[in-house]
Chain A
Amino acid sequence: MIELLENNEVILLMFLADELPAEDRAEVTQMLASDAGLRRELEQLSRAYEESSDGLRRLDEANPIHAGAQAVGVRHVMHAIRQRLDKPAPVPGRVRETRKLHYPWWAYPAAAAAAIFLAFLTWWGNHEGSAGLYDDGPARLPFVRNHDGRDDGVYALMPNDPNAKLAEELENTFKTHNDPDSALLALRDAPRMADLGSDSDE
């Protein structure tokens, strides 16, 4: 072995640790007997070895592991070991148990399809070209009623129609006059009747 060791330091360290084979040990002993420098090196190394060992021993003695602390420590480790023994770690390659689904399997694609359909309807409703889908045209508001409640006609009143105010006036006029003829006469004299008449003719 000695020929594998690089220098005197490691040879002497192995000599000190008593890990050299008998033949090598004898050879080193001979070298030491004849080489004062090597002996000095061995003494220094031996002192360093003892000092570091003594230092560690003193450090451990200054901070001893008390019996109680050791018992608690062992108990902690054993608790973990017993848990592991009761419930062995998963073996690689073992088929993993599939997780149970909260709902039936078909509920998930059905929900996805419903969500897509709703999204499509929303898009379609907001699309410019689809205005007619829900649009039934302008509201048709009856405003001319006979005194017996029958409708004589309807007027298609668009939202924000400029004639809405005029139509309201017309209806109020009919309401305030019990006689339709007198109401018509009153309307004829009204300043904007001509406008209403022209719209109605159209």
Chain B
Amino acid sequence: MLTTGKPNSMTPTLVPEFEPPVRDSDESLMKRLHGGDADAGEELVRRYYPNLLRYLQRVAGEQVAEELLQQTWLSVLDHADKFEPGSGGGGFKSWLFRIATNKANDHWRSRGRDKSARDGLRLVTDELVPAADHRMEASEQELKLKRAIAQLPESQRQVLMLRYYSDLKFVEIVKIVGCPLNTALGRVHKAMIKLRQLMGD
């Protein structure tokens, strides 16, 4: 909102009131990126960087997460003309996580399930070296949790991580993973129970 700052002056100047700057919506930034505005793209990348990276780390592994993240954004750019914010697709965030999920699935398929499973376990053990100042108890908890996550079936892990890192609704998540709502909810339920059980062992 704009208002006059100096009421007594002859030529009043317009100064903004003290209110937080208006944050551009994802959709408007996406539109600008599609038009070639790299700054808008940078704002989007920065906005989603932590959660998207975490999601890809959990579903595809830490070693390939950054590469998949870059591929995801390039795919966003390449298919920008196909993004329709008003078509009921759940908005930009849903579209972004769908692309990231597809990239993770492609990676999973290309490497083969057995190899990925082995890598997943190796990944868990590789990351187990705790920082010097960490308490042993904490690192043991981390180890347990990482092992538990690695032992979850891919489909269950994917839905659970989507829910946690994207904060999308279940009805939007089912569009990303392409399964019925009951199936997706069943997977989340099983994943949570299994995590709890594995962490308790």
Binary contact readout A53-97 vs B (1 if CB under 8 angstroms, 0 otherwise):
101101110110100001001101110111011000100000000
Q: Is the interface of B mostly helix, strand, loop or mixed?
A: helix
Q: What's the minimum C-beta distance from A116 to chain B, rounded to whole angstroms?
A: 45
B74, A10: Cβ atoms under 8 Å?
A: no
Q: Is the CB of A52 within 8 A of B170?
A: no
* Inter-chain contact A84/B77, CB cutoff 8 Å: yes
CA distance A26 to B152 in the complex (A): 34
Please tell me if the beta carbons of A73 and B73 are within 8 angstroms of each other in the complex: no
B193 close to chain A: CB less than 8 A:
yes
Contact partners of B66 in chain A: CB under 8 A: 73, 76
Which B residues from 23 to 69 make CB contacts under 8 A with A?
36, 38, 41-42, 45-46, 49-50, 53-54, 58, 66, 69
Contact of A13 (CB < 8 Å), options: B69, B77, B189? B189
Write out the residue numbers on chain A whose beta carbons fall within 8 Å of the beta carbon of B38: 78, 81-82, 85
Instruction: For the complex formed, measure the closest distance between the CB of A18 and the CB atoms of chain B, giving whole angstroms.
Output: 9
**Residues B78 and A89 in contact, CB atoms below 8 Å apart:** yes
Which of A1-9, A173-181, A187-195 lies at the interface?
A1-9
Partner of A52, one of B36, B142, B196: B196
Does A80 contact B192, Cβ atoms closer than 8 Å? no
Determine whether the beta carbon of A59 is less than 8 Å from that of B146.
yes
A32 interface residue (CB < 8 Å to B): no
A77's partner among B69, B170, B181 (CB-CB below 8 A) is B69
Stretch at the interface among A43-51, A106-114, A136-144, A151-159: A43-51
Q: Which of B64-94 contact A (CB under 8 A)?
A: 66, 69-70, 73-74, 77-78
Answer whether residue B171 sits at the interface, using C-beta atoms and an 8 A cutoff.
yes
The reply to whether the CB of A14 lies closer than 8 angstroms to some CB of chain B is yes
> Are A9 and B185 neighbours in the complex by a CB distance under 8 Å?
yes
Please name all residues of chain A whose beta carbon is closer than 8 Å to the beta carbon of B69 when the two chains form the complex: 73, 77
How many residues of A are counted as interface, with CB atoms below 8 angstroms from the partner's CB atoms?
36
Interface residue from A9, A17, A70, A84 paired with B50 (Cβ < 8 Å): A70
Q: Does B100 contact A (CB under 8 A)?
A: no
Q: Would you give the shortest CB distance from A13 to chain B, in whole angstroms?
A: 5
Nearest-neighbor residue (CB-CB) of B196 within chain A:
A48
Q: State how many angstroms separate the Cβ of A50 from the closest Cβ of chain B.
A: 9
Q: Does A19 contact B (CB under 8 A)?
A: yes
**CB–CB B142/A70 < 8 A:** no
B residues less than 8 Å from A78 (CB atoms): 38, 41-42, 45
CB of B8 within 8 A of chain A? no
A62 to B57, CA, bound (A): 14
B191 at the interface (CB under 8 A from A): yes
For B171, what are the chain A residues with a Cβ–Cβ distance below 8 Å? 19
Q: Report yes or no: B45 in contact with A74, Cβ–Cβ below 8 A.
A: yes
Residues of A that sit less than 8 Å from B by CB: 4-6, 9-10, 13-14, 17, 19, 45, 47-49, 51-53, 55-56, 58-60, 62-63, 65, 70, 73-74, 76-78, 80-82, 84-85, 89
Known: A10-B186, A73-B53, A74-B42. 6 other contacts (CB 8 A): A10-B181, A17-B169, A51-B199, A73-B69, A77-B45, A85-B36
Give the 8 A-B CB pairs with smallest separation, nearest first: A10-B185, A48-B192, A6-B182, A55-B145, A52-B192, A52-B195, A48-B196, A9-B189
